[in-house]
Amino acid sequence: MATNIAALLETLRETKVWKSIFRRGPANSNRTRSIAVFGNLFLHWMPVKVREKALQVRASYYLGSISLFLFLVLLVTGILLMFYYHPAAPSAYRDMKDLQFVVSNGVFLRNLHRLAAHLMVFMVFAHMFHVFYRGGYKPPHEFNWVVGVVLLLVTLFLSYTGYLLPWDQLAFWAVTVGTNIISAMPVIGDKIKFLLLGGHIVGENALLRFYVLHVVILPLAAFVLIGIHFWRVQKDGGLTVKPKDSDGK
Partner 1 sequence: MSDTKEPTLPQSSAAPGADLNRRDFLGQVTIGALGIAGLGSVAVTYQFFSPNVLFEPATQFRAGTPDLYPIHSVTYLQDQQVYIVRMPEGFYAVSAVCTHLGCVTQWKEEAQMIACPCHGSKFKPDGIKIEGPAPRPLPHFGISLTADGELLVDKLQGVKNTQALRV
CB of 195 to partner 1, least distance (A): 5
Site string for partner 1, 197-236 (x = CB under 8 A): -xxxx-xxx-------------------------------
CA distances from 227 to 63, 99, 107, 220, 233 (A): 17, 32, 31, 11, 10
Site string for partner 1, 141-180 (x = CB under 8 A): --------------------------------x--xx-xx
CB of 184 to partner 1, least distance (A): 9
The helix-helix angle for 189-197 and 169-183 (nearest 10°) equals 150
CB of 204 to partner 1, least distance (A): 7
188 binds partner 1 (CB under 8 A): no
CB of 173 to partner 1, least distance (A): 6
CA distances from 105 to 72, 101, 109 (A): 19, 9, 6
**Contact, 24 vs 39, CB < 8 A?**
yes
**Nearest to residue 110, comparing CAs of 91, 95, 120?**
95
CA distance 43 to 36: 9
Enumerate residues 6+ apart whose C-beta is below 8 A from 217.
none
CB of 203 to partner 1, least distance (A): 6
181 binds partner 1 (CB under 8 A): yes
Which is closer to partner 1, CB of 149 or CB of 195? Answer: 195
Which is closer to partner 1, CB of 138 or CB of 200? Answer: 200
Which is closer to partner 1, CB of 7 or CB of 195? Answer: 195
DSSP 213: I
CB of 198 to partner 1, least distance (A): 5
For the chain, state the CA radius of gyration.
Answer: 23
Q: Report the residue from 18, 38, 129, 194 that binds partner 1 according to the rule CB under 8 A.
A: 194
CA distance 224 to 151: 10
Q: Report the residue from 48, 79, 185, 195 that binds partner 1 according to the rule CB under 8 A.
A: 195
CB of 183 to partner 1, least distance (A): 9
Q: Residue 143 CA to chain centroid, in angstroms?
A: 18
- Give the count of residues interacting with partner 1 (CB under 8 A): 15
98 binds partner 1 (CB under 8 A): no
185 binds partner 1 (CB under 8 A): no
What is the total residue count of the chain?
249
- Three-state DSSP class for 42? coil
The contact set with partner 1 (CB under 8 A) reads 173, 176-177, 179-181, 194-195, 198-201, 203-205
